[in-house]
Amino acid sequence: MSELHDFNQGVISEFRANHGKVGGQLATMPVLLLTTTGAKSGRALTRPLVYTTDGDRLFRSCTCSVRIIELDLSGDIHMK
């Protein structure tokens, strides 16, 4: 597996074992686990995401873009 995959798996394991807390370089950042389902495979895929908030909106950033993720009361996520 890749270094990124190994890093993500470590963060996911630590997040779950420590009730949503992680250490290391992510210790001071809010982290969430986002699980999506593959449209073709039907496989669940979980990734750790660092985010910031503005009111009830979540912002997730990466090296190439910033996306606004809005959570509604039903728990559905809408990406723009």
pTM over 0.85: no
pLDDT band, very low/low/confident/very high, at 65 (cuts 50, 70, 90): very low
pLDDT higher than threshold 50 for residue 55:
yes
CA 17 to chain centre: 16
Q: CB of 53 within 8 A of CB of 61?
A: no
**Cβ 31 vs Cβ 22: under 8 Å:** yes
Split at pLDDT 50, 70, 90, the class of 71 is: low
8 A C-beta contact, residue 8 and residue 48: yes
Residue type, position 72, single letter: D
**Chain-wide mean pLDDT for the chain?**
78
Question: What is the per-residue pLDDT across 6-44, written as a single tens digit (0 to 9) for each?
Answer: 888 999 999 999 999 999 988 998 888 888 888 899 999
Confirm if 17 and 30 have CB atoms less than 8 A apart.
no
